[in-house]
Chains A and B, each alone.
Chain A
Amino acid sequence: MFGVLIRIDSVTKRYPDGTVAVDRLSLEIPDRSITVLVGPSGCGKTTTLRMINRMVEPTEGTILLDGQDILQQPVNTLRRSMGYVIQNAGLFQHRTILDNIATVPRLLGWGKDRARGRARELMERVGLDAALAKRYPYQLSGGQQQRVGVARALAADPPVLLMDEPFSAVDPVVRKGLQDELLRIQAELGKTIVFVTHDIDEAVKLGTMVAVLRTGGRLAQYAPPAELLSAPADAFVEDFLGADRGIRRLSFFPATGLALLTTPIVAVDATAEQIAARATGEAPYLLVTDLDGRPLGWSEPHELTAGSIDPGRLLSHGRPFVPGTDSLRAALDCAVLSPTGWAVAVGADGRATGVVSQQTIAEAIRGAHAAVPTDAPAPHSLAKGGPADAKVAG
């Protein structure tokens, strides 16, 4: 893994009215990875984040950036070395998209053309159409505005990115897209990202390390997400993780090891002999594929008439999984969604590579759990860079 970039050392923040927002918090934030601060509303996440760029001064304790006390550099120099992204983007409504993104380079004294050139580059990087450059924020959708927010934070190429619930105001579909994009950008640029959210699913999906805070600003647990799911430190964390943490934990086990059956697969133009040869009884159903080998659906063998297979009458095969990149969670999901209880594996090209039953998946899950006792951390290598599921989108 990487070194420590930001060291928060028993930091306390007491507001003038007496509220203790953060209570003796210590965290080591690793370099070039995503550290998520998660917890219920009011638990001190924003306060913690804002202490890192000195928008809030700690009452006690120190924060070190790269080994140096953050109080030692001029405050605006420090802030310009840290991108900051917030909910609703906080864009400058009176500036064009391009000028919004060019803000920090301009503050750093870049010429107008160079700053705008850089801004154009970033628009492309965060997936914004170049045609939006001359528009104003009110002309963009929430998701696009959030992308501008990310681009603006990245504009001066700061080593650190602070993100405060950046995606919580957009709808779930857009949010998923933004999360995937963030993982991709992180993989490409290797920023140190401190990400605040109240959504544990988002935390598990994005975090290399996840810090769970409890009300009153105390750290409940600091661990990689797989470990959080397998071994919550206490009842609070367990409760916060929700009821289905067992299922979600499967995200961290790859589906690579599943024993796939290749026999019960026939093409839509199969002859009677082929159907008979494939119906060996290994599986109660046959998977019918199109002529290219892409799955169409399931059928019992005796319902298939050679030469007149009607794809419209097949049983749904659910959403197939890709063994190389998907997790056991995706495989299980596929099996559970399929009326036959069987999951379909496909290659990257979408062609069926095999089928697997719920029973086989359950055995694989037991095997994975046996290899990693539930109260010990899951293998770290799997968790690095986020869950296996998350990587697919990139």
Chain B
Amino acid sequence: MSGFFDIPSDLQHSWLGLVGLHLREALLPVLAGLVVSLPLAQLCVRLRWLYPPVLWVTTVLYAIPSLAFFVLLIDYTGQTELTVMIPLTVYSLVVLVPAIVDGVRSVPPETLAAATAMGFGPVRRYFQVQLPIAVPAVIAGLRVATVSSISLVSVGALIGNQGALGNLINDANIYNRPELAVNAVLSMAVLAILADALLVAVRLLLTPWMPRAGRRRPAADVPDPATAALEDAVR
């Protein structure tokens, strides 16, 4: 009788190994998404006309099923982690770009005017004023992107066991061990909750300047990421 944490050998990893793999496949795309989103969002802030088409493109890309991406990519990147991570990076843009644009735009005009009047150039102004003030919005975006990425990694199971914890769901079928599927779902949910908590902690650390009393509902229109993750994982 195999235990809850005994992973079939075809996956070539221990449970902890799968967790590490899962985190890498989920978080690197979010990081890459952030690196792409920051300049893209700044461009959208500077050139207002650019924002609607960019939003439109990110939404359309998000609507493409990951399977279609895999088919497209597999000729170039093969059955690798990269094939999983590229679509995840693209998906994260749909959350991150608007989050950063809203964050940067939330800087009060008089703060910007004051910065300009004090002799901040555009670059310095961006890094020292706009970006720090956008941190809460950026992190709110990162929370959603991270938890959704954690649940989406599982689709990698479709291309030769590149789904990390998601592969367990496949194996649950193959070996008729339903506890492996439960393990996958629970592990992903726990990872999502922990990653989310970590991001909240980072937010608190980076924004001692935020009124603590008004923190209850920081971004009313962003769904609670942890709940979203659970829903995704169960789906």
A residues neighboring B (CB under 8 Å):
53, 55, 75-80, 82, 84, 86-96, 103-104, 107, 136-138, 149, 152, 162
Q: A90-B111, A93-B111 are in contact. Are A79 and B119 (CB under 8 A)?
A: yes
A80 in contact with B118 (CB, 8 Å): yes
> Bound complex: CA of A361 vs CA of B22, how far in Å?
89
A94 in contact with B117 (CB, 8 Å): no
Minimum distance in angstroms from B134 CB to a CB of chain A:
10
User: Contact partner of A55 among B111, B116, B132, B210, CB < 8 A?
Assistant: B116
Asked whether any CB of chain A lies closer than 8 Å to the CB of B3, the reply is: no
B110 in contact with A87 (CB, 8 Å): yes
B113 in contact with A137 (CB, 8 Å): no
A107 in contact with B208 (CB, 8 Å): no
Residue pairs across A and B with Cβ atoms less than 8 A apart, 20 shown, are: A55-B117, A80-B118, A84-B114, A86-B110, A88-B110, A90-B108, A90-B111, A90-B113, A91-B111, A92-B111, A92-B114, A92-B133, A93-B133, A94-B129, A96-B209, A103-B118, A107-B120, A107-B124, A137-B209, A152-B118
**Chain A contacts for B120, CB-based, 8 A:** 76, 107
Minimum distance in angstroms from B163 CB to a CB of chain A:
40
**Chain A contacts for B209, CB-based, 8 A:** 93-96, 136-138
Query: Which residues of B167-212 are within 8 A (CB) of A?
Result: 207-211
Q: Is the interface of A mostly helix, strand, loop or mixed?
A: mixed
**Chain A contacts for B218, CB-based, 8 A:** none
Please name the residue on chain A nearest to B214 by beta carbon. Answer: A138
Please name the residue on chain A nearest to B111 by beta carbon. Answer: A90
> Bound complex: CA of A82 vs CA of B118, how far in Å?
8
> Bound complex: CA of A86 vs CA of B116, how far in Å?
12
Q: Is the interface of B mostly helix, strand, loop or mixed?
A: helix
Bin the interface of chain B by size: 20 to 34
A94 in contact with B207 (CB, 8 Å): yes
B residues neighboring A (CB under 8 Å):
108, 110-111, 113-121, 124, 129, 132-133, 135, 207-211
B133 in contact with A90 (CB, 8 Å): no
**Chain A contacts for B116, CB-based, 8 A:** 55, 79
Interface pairs A-B: 9 shortest CB-CB: A90-B114, A84-B117, A90-B110, A76-B119, A79-B119, A80-B119, A136-B209, A94-B132, A94-B209
> Bound complex: CA of A137 vs CA of B207, how far in Å?
13
**Chain A contacts for B210, CB-based, 8 A:** 138
Please name the residue on chain A nearest to B121 by beta carbon. Answer: A76
User: Contact partner of A138 among B115, B129, B211, CB < 8 A?
Assistant: B211
**Chain A contacts for B133, CB-based, 8 A:** 92-94
User: Contact partner of B113 among A55, A82, A152, CB < 8 A?
Assistant: A55
**Chain A contacts for B121, CB-based, 8 A:** 76
Please name the residue on chain B nearest to A86 by beta carbon. Answer: B110
> Bound complex: CA of A145 vs CA of B22, how far in Å?
48
Q: A94-B132, A137-B209, A138-B209 are in contact. Are A104 and B118 (CB under 8 A)?
A: yes
Q: A136-B208, A136-B209, A138-B211 are in contact. Are A91 and B114 (CB under 8 A)?
A: yes
> Bound complex: CA of A96 vs CA of B121, how far in Å?
21
Minimum distance in angstroms from B155 CB to a CB of chain A:
39
**Chain B contacts for A87, CB-based, 8 A:** 110
**Chain A contacts for B135, CB-based, 8 A:** 94
> Bound complex: CA of A80 vs CA of B120, how far in Å?
9
Please name the residue on chain B nearest to A81 by beta carbon. Answer: B119
**Chain A contacts for B108, CB-based, 8 A:** 88, 90, 93
User: Contact partner of B118 among A84, A93, A136, CB < 8 A?
Assistant: A84
Minimum distance in angstroms from A33 CB to a CB of chain B:
21
> Bound complex: CA of A350 vs CA of B137, how far in Å?
58
Minimum distance in angstroms from A151 CB to a CB of chain B:
13
> Bound complex: CA of A36 vs CA of B122, how far in Å?
30
Please name the residue on chain A nearest to B206 by beta carbon. Answer: A94
**Chain A contacts for B110, CB-based, 8 A:** 86-90
> Bound complex: CA of A95 vs CA of B119, how far in Å?
17
**Chain A contacts for B129, CB-based, 8 A:** 92, 94
Q: A95-B209, A136-B208, A138-B211 are in contact. Are A86 and B118 (CB under 8 A)?
A: no
Please name the residue on chain B nearest to A137 by beta carbon. Answer: B209
Which of A53, A87, A89, A90 has most B Cβ within 10 Å? A90
Minimum distance in angstroms from B104 CB to a CB of chain A:
13
> Bound complex: CA of A140 vs CA of B211, how far in Å?
11
Please name the residue on chain A nearest to B108 by beta carbon. Answer: A90
